[in-house]
Amino acid sequence: MNASVKFRWLPFLTALAFCASSALAQTSRPAQKTPPKKSAPAEPREESLAAQAEQAIEKKEYQRAAELLRRYLADHPSDSVAHFQLGYAATALSRKAEARAAYEKAAELDPKLAAAHLNLGLLLLDEAPAVAVEPLRRAAELQPGRAQPRFLLGQALERSGKLSDAIAAYQAAAEIAPDNSDTRFALARAQLASGAAADAEANFRRALETRADFAPARAGLAESLIAQDKLEPAAAELEAYLAAQPEDAESRFQLASLYFDLGRFDAVLPQLDKIPATPAHAARVESLRGEALIRLRRLDEAASAFERATQAAPREAALYARLGRVRLEQRDFPAAERALQAALALDAKLTDAWRDLTSVYYLAEKYAQALRALELLGQRETLAPGSWFIRATCYDKLGMKPEALAAYERFLALDQGRNETQDFQARQRVRLLSRELKRNR
């Protein structure tokens, strides 16, 4: 049972980071400037429009600001700051197409207007991260001493699937602002996704040094520890995370899986009991519960758990196969046969199920069915010595003496004395069957 369901927490955490980025867009507008004075007689009207627009933006009256700026730009289309302000107002009004055009125009008119590049990148970050890369890269170049553009550039690169470049951008941001927990977290997340779990662990820890209550970083630290097979400390970190985020069912299941991998089967069950009994969780929760109960030798409860799992996921062949195995161990052969047949009806390639079904038929003294199951099993794998012993016994019970003798001899040749009891029985039957067949010739 693998405890780590890789990066299941990343979409939630990425969403948090992007909410933070959206807030940055509103604070990235440069200080408002009064446009250069124009020649009379237009100056009073133009100055008034620009000033009114600035005042409207300060009051968050974005609709009015946009209208004023459009009127102003009709006469002054080359004013880069006014285009930027229009983009800012349009962003606040969720008019993305208008905002993009305004920011692009501002950057075209003044290629060194860093805020235009930055806000353009922010605007594109969610829906077109690959397109956001260049304006954010330009913003970072124009503001070499600021961490924010590099952090946002890292997000755009990460969401575009360019993890190595994203890591470099996050590292650059961390060098400028080494104690920024969001940057450390983003860097660690990208490192973990790229397979650098040890580096990710170090940066998750740095994020937690700055913000001890940073729950997503705690979950990330647990993931990085799992990736390094440090299961005990990973469990401790998940416990701490769940103390702060008790409703996180995914992480609760992950902790239960960790306990299973650590052999702490008694600890698995209380964690599973805390997961809401919803259709989305039922099959895997009951399956893991059943596995833990098997290890605790509580077979009746394990069978009930797998029954519930099959009800929650009636098309999952493996669940029926596990139920059949438990019923076999309980020596409830009719129930085991039903479950295993259901598993194989859904997936005839389940070799373990064929093996168990053979054992069910054999122990239930259904020797002809056992032989047929062995034939089908032999089409999927090379039969083990034990399977040859079962085959020989089935032939023997059915009075098929030549076939039984050949199968016993095949078992002895393969087993080489490793199974003392079966080896003894097989040798005895070989001698008796050989004598009987000679007498009958």
pLDDT tens by residue, 327-373: 999 999 999 999 999 999 999 999 999 999 999 999 999 999 999 99
**Cβ contacts of 348 within 8 Å, gap of 6 or more:** none
Question: Quick one: pLDDT at residue 50?
Answer: 85
Question: Quick one: pLDDT at residue 35?
Answer: 36
- pLDDT at residue 207 greater than cutoff 80: yes
Q: How confident is the model at residue 20 (pLDDT cuts 50, 70, 90)?
A: very low
> Contact, 203 vs 188, CB < 8 A?
yes
- pLDDT at residue 11 greater than cutoff 60: no
Mean pLDDT of 86-107: 97
Question: Quick one: pLDDT at residue 32?
Answer: 38
Mean pLDDT of 208-229: 97
Mean pLDDT of 410-419: 95
Looking at the chain, the number of H-run helices and the number of E-run strands are: 24, 0
Any idea which residue has 């010739």 for tokens? Answer: 441
Question: Quick one: pLDDT at residue 47?
Answer: 62
Direct distance between the N- and C-terminal alpha carbons of the chain, in angstroms, rounded to an integer: 57
Question: Quick one: pLDDT at residue 441?
Answer: 74
Question: Quick one: pLDDT at residue 46?
Answer: 58
Mean pLDDT of 10-15: 33
Mean pLDDT of 145-166: 97
Task: Select the more confidently predicted residue: 308 or 48.
Answer: 308
Any idea which residue has 């880069």 for tokens? Answer: 80
Q: How confident is the model at residue 199 (pLDDT cuts 50, 70, 90)?
A: very high
**% the chain with pLDDT above 90:** 87
Query: How far is Cα 429 from Cα 437, in angstroms, rounded to an integer?
Result: 12
Mean pLDDT of 285-296: 98
Token pair belonging to 83 = 């285009």
- pLDDT at residue 29 greater than cutoff 70: no
Write out pLDDT tens, residues 34-52: 333 333 344 444 568 989 9
Show contacts of 242-248: CB within 8 Å, 24+ apart.
244/213, 244/215, 244/218, 245/215, 245/219, 246/274, 248/219
- pLDDT at residue 26 greater than cutoff 90: no
